[in-house]
Structure 1
Amino acid sequence: MRPIPLPELSVTEQNVCPTTAAERRRAFELYELVLPVLSSVSTTADIGVLRMRLVRPIVLWRRGGRRFAYDTVTVVTNKALNNASPEHLAENGYAEVVNDSITTFYAPDGDALASPSFLATHCLWWVERGGEKSVGLGFEPKPGRGLVDVKGVLWVDTVTGGPEELEFQYTSLRPFLRQHLLPLLRQQVLSRLPEGLRYRASFGRIEIDESLFGGELQFERIAHDRWLIREWTIRRPRLGRFTLTEPGRHTVWPRAFPLTVSGEVLAIIPP
């Protein structure tokens, strides 16, 4: 296990996070405890490959429109969760659109959490878990970060120093949906309207409850000083709509609904 240099914590400089110097010091102590483990949970290339079960949403086209269903596949890989690099996440956020249509949402895996760029863009604090042997490392984007980002809690076993579970929620979703998904929805709606009604169609503000979108990562200890991501779930948004048609008028209210994708490690196959 390679050592990772931890940026020096300064408690005297001005800090934009809504925490005190004592709270930041306590959070960094917990971060230092779990940091060596985080750096190795995202890949198993050195110990073998993973056989995984993935559950993914698929689009089924039917007369009158489309609907979503779920497909289950088994794959072999050396990463439990395919993710963007920490540098990419810090610069571009946890969501992006590829080829103007394919939307990808990422999760804060071990590589992301262990990176200096995560510390540079997030506030950390200590979270109590009453009556249990685990404590939480809370995190949220620093104020003013407008990209799609994540906030949540990493639960850490205080005996082993290893991660147990990570719960996260996406932030700043509405601007992303408005910029990237609303134009596609608008195009779909207008293409199905009679020509005379297209110019009278109006779109309301996107309705979204950000608490519905995020995910969980479950960790498992596989050796004395080694953990891996055993299961993960991501709930990403898609845009649906409610419509009201009146004489000479067509009103559309976009609404964000969750689509779930998940993965589970079935076995580790030694090299």
Structure 2
Amino acid sequence: MAILSRAVAVVAILVAIRALPVFGQAVRGELVDRASGRGVSGAFVVLLDAQEREVARALTDDRGRFLLRAPAAGTYRLQSKRIGFRVTVSPPLVLEAERTLSYRLEVDAVPASLPPVIVEGKPQCGTRGEAGTIVARLWEEAKEALAAVSWTEGSRLYQYSLRMFERDLPDVGTRVIRERSWTRSGYAETPFRSAPAEDLAERGYVVEEGRDRVYFAPDAGVLLSEVFAGTHCFNAIPGVGGRIGLSFEPVPERHLPEIKGVLWLDQSTAELRALEFSYTRLPPELPEGPIGGRIEFMRLPTGAWIVREWFIRMPLMGQIVYTEARREPVSKVMGYRETGGQVLSITDSRRRVIFSMDRAVVEGSVYDTTRGRLLPRAVVLLEGTEYSTTADDRGSFHMALPVEGDYQLAFRHPRLDSLGFRPDPVPVSLKRGQRVTVSLGIPAEDRILPRLCPELDPEGDERAIVGRVIKADGSPAAGATVQLEWQTLGGTEGALRARNWKGEVTADSSGSYRACGIPLTAVAVQARLGSAASQPLMLRFTRDGVWVGNRYRSFPGRIWTQELRLGR
């Protein structure tokens, strides 16, 4: 007898570009955390029509802003959904033709963990769970991630670098006998495309095409379809490693080649992690179990979702041909072919690295607590290395670093120079292929004052004056002296006695100075370096503010910053 072998598994890899329609009526708004009043970034806001159908979706920017365009004038609602926040739906909004409505949508932060599954229940067929059940809850979380994946695929927001591969194995889990790989870059809409859900319901997931078989994997669109829900049964199952699963299998009455599997979610965050599936109800010559695939999902720092890795395993079929004329050829599995890929890197329209397999991404913001606002243009440094970046005008920073290990993150800013203060660096653990979010900032005044002026009473009224002395050309006036004079009154009402006070401090190499123990009174301040001197300045401190010359400024704090410029 002779053994004939031919690979017949086929997977189509498609790339497409969608044209986005432009509409005249829209709603522009801001999604904010009700407690803090800050914008919620990286959240999806959905526009629902009168029948509660999604007609548009947008991702909020780093300030929580969004823009949604409606297909026609009418009444709509806004719905927000971000992991960690309660689902919020707005009251009805009337969108007029060719007009843009502004709206502020507030959300409440809530814990996002999922309840454990102690005992598996009875599968629920033809529906993704009755309201209030764990199956329904799991599906709502998985649906949101899948809808976000579908939205990201069509948005063309990111440029991908992909590694694709195809390899042959004699058996599952054994050595690779042949492999080829290649890279691909561009605005790929999706790493793989399934057939329409209606076609899969009619023909099955393994289809004969001539002498070949085509194996289809489900994409986000298929999993979201009502057809998929109507032809499968769902159940909640426990997992390992902090995961919980939403399993699915075909309804009993279906006899076409089908798929069964599990959508795995992180129990602590409710984030969708992976889809595992296998083919079932196959022809007799095909083995059930080894044939299937896996798709891994990932949420980007921006809030968008992508398919991070995927593969599909198919049998390589051959025939045993007998020399005896009366014996028919017998089909036989000769091995397996795995086809798949992984995302190597993702960049946005500004060419920032959002994700990279060989880089650690660290991002965050720099905040000035003493002034209650973000700190723009701060220089952020990874201590002990040459890596640094500059925060943008909103105080946000982003770094993609070719390092791995435990480091410390620090920052520089003229505001720190004015305060004469350096915050402690923030420890950060970096790992390639992962991202970490870090908050940097100037701490509250009650934490700064003891380090600037440890002798001051924490509950007292005395002020501190800090700042920089600079020369006429803007360079630091190292070694300049800052002279301070004020007067206090003592004694009794009938015999008041004035006492004059003088103080002097010296600026350091950066021009920074600080004077502690300033009472609530008028203080004359002047800096000198050689023959150069600053203009005399009068500061008069009160409990709630300070007079700078003849101008009053509300100032309830205890640390006043004052720059002094020397004349020529």
TM-score, structure 1 normalization: 0.69
Kept in 1, the 8 Å contact 2:164–2:340? The answer is yes
Alignment check: 8 A CA contact 1:16 1:142 kept: no
The worse-fitting range, judged by mean Cα deviation, of 146-155 and 222-231 is: 222-231
Taking the aligned partners of 1:85 and 1:18, their CA distance within structure 2 comes to: 18
Q: Label 1:138 to 1:75 Cα distance change in 2 as closer, same or farther (>3 A).
A: same
Equivalent residues of 1:167, 1:215 under 8 A apart: yes
Does 1 or 2 have the higher relative contact order (CA < 8 Å, sep 6+)? Answer: 1
> Matched residue of 2:202: which SS?
helix
Aligned counterparts, 1:56-205, within 5 A: 56=166, 69-76=178-185, 77-98=188-209, 100-130=210-240, 132-174=241-283
- Which whole-Å CA distance do the structure 2 matches of 1:243 and 1:91 have between them? 33
Mapped contact 1:165–1:218 kept (Cα < 8 A): yes
Partners of 1:30 and 1:143 in 2: CA distance: 23
Measured at CA, do residues 269 and 82 of structure 1 come closer, stay the same or move farther in structure 2, by a change above 3 Å? farther
Q: Assess, with a 3 A threshold, how the Cα gap between structure 1 residues 3 and 231 changes in structure 2: closer, same or farther.
A: farther
Q: 1-side partners of 2:158 and 2:208: how far apart?
A: 32
Q: Where does residue 252 of structure 1 map in the other structure?
A: 329
Q: Is 2:331 the partner of 1:223?
A: no
Asked if the contact 1:140/1:152 (under 8 Å) is kept, the reply is yes
**Which entry has the higher C-alpha Rg, 1 or 2?**
2
Q: Could you tell me how far apart the structure 2 residues matched to 1:96 and 1:251 are? A: 23
* Structure 1 residues 3 and 160, CA gap change in structure 2 (3 angstroms): farther
Residue deviations 1:160-205 (CA, integer Å, cap 9, x gap):
322111111001221xxxxxxxxxxxxxxxxxxxxxxxxxxxxxxx
Distance 1:207 1:263 in 2: 28
SS at match of 1:89: helix
Number of equivalenced pairs: 219
Q: Which residue of 2 aligns with 1:212?
A: 290
Q: Does 1:233 align with 2:311?
A: yes
Moved more, 209-218 or 159-168: 159-168
Corresponding residue for residue 200 of structure 1: none
1:31 to 134, 139, 155: 139
Percent identity over the alignment? 31
Gapped regions of structure 1 (runs ≥ 5): 7-14, 59-67, 175-205
Shift of 1:224: 5.7
Gaps of 5+ in 2: 1-43, 54-122, 169-176, 350-568
Q: Tell me the distance in 2 between the aligned counterparts of 1:264 and 1:16.
A: 34
Aligned amino acid, residue 242 of structure 2: K
In 2, distance between residues paired with 1:34 and 1:227?
A: 12
3-state SS in 1 of match to 2:300 = strand
Structure 1 residue 24 displacement after superposition? 9.6
Does the 8 Å contact 2:126/2:230 carry over to 1?
no
Local SS of the residue matching 1:39: helix
Deviations 1:97-152 (A, max 9, x none): 45x2453212122222222111111100001015x432000000111212221101
